[in-house]
Homo-oligomer: A and B are copies of this chain.
């Protein structure tokens, strides 16, 4: 197909497509004349992935590039590929390793991960994210206790097992990443909305009222 058709079918302006080619996110089309190139379904598929990363994941071009390179590098296994995308999508924490309070919170996190036996890399950004929440809770005089965490761990496990089970193993690696990104970002919103609704329902049942 010509670039105009690729634009129509992907919903992206020709200029944007040319920008992605210049940035090395999208392979060039096969040259059919000096100023003409032919594109195929692999280009369309790649544009859909880029669009999901940009519009749903709200990722900067540099992160998109890293993920797209990992998709193309068949030496990278699916676990590491999904990990690359997940790390890029993770909100970043603001670690304060100089502060004793921070180190205590981070040690709590490491102890919990070890106790659960979870396979989470030692430098995963999620460890800092959790430590940041622990620190804020402690500063409000709300200590982290195991009984308090249990329901969240149980809920996270139910969700994660379902989500990883839903990653398509057959077919294109880019498609697996696309599904994982959409799930990561959009089902996070689904989860947060449902939690708030379930809170309102549980509050109505416990405290009555006009709900």
Interface residues of A (CB under 8 A from B): 52, 56, 77-80, 82-83, 86, 90-91, 113, 118-121, 124, 126-127, 129-130, 132-134, 136-137, 140, 142, 148-149, 151-167, 179, 182, 184, 186-211
Residues of B close to A121: CB separation below 8 A: 200, 211
Q: How far is the CB of A96 from the nearest CB of chain B, in Å?
A: 16
Residue of B whose beta carbon sits closest to that of A135: B186
Q: Find out whether the CB atom of A204 lies under 8 angstroms from the CB atom of B142.
A: no
Residue of B whose beta carbon sits closest to that of A117: B201
Partner of A78 from the list B162, B189, B198, B207 (CB cut-off 8 Å) is B207
Give the number of times this chain occurs in the complex, counting copies: 2
Known A-B contacts A140-B56, A206-B165; A119 and B211 likewise in contact (beta carbons under 8 Å): yes
Q: Find out whether the CB atom of B186 lies under 8 angstroms from the CB atom of A120.
A: no
Q: Find out whether the CB atom of A200 lies under 8 angstroms from the CB atom of B120.
A: yes
Q: Find out whether the CB atom of A159 lies under 8 angstroms from the CB atom of B152.
A: yes
Q: How far is the CB of A156 from the nearest CB of chain B, in Å?
A: 4
Q: Find out whether the CB atom of B197 lies under 8 angstroms from the CB atom of A120.
A: yes
Partner of A194 from the list B156, B161, B203 (CB cut-off 8 Å) is B156
Partner of A157 from the list B137, B165, B198 (CB cut-off 8 Å) is B198
Q: How far is the CB of A71 from the nearest CB of chain B, in Å?
A: 15
- 15 A-B pairs besides A118-B197, A119-B200, A165-B202 with CB distance below 8 A are A56-B140, A86-B200, A118-B200, A118-B201, A119-B204, A133-B189, A137-B187, A140-B186, A152-B159, A152-B187, A153-B198, A163-B199, A165-B206, A188-B192, A191-B195
Residue of B whose beta carbon sits closest to that of A136: B186
Residue of B whose beta carbon sits closest to that of A199: B160
Q: Find out whether the CB atom of B80 lies under 8 angstroms from the CB atom of A210.
A: yes
Q: Find out whether the CB atom of A132 lies under 8 angstroms from the CB atom of B189.
A: yes
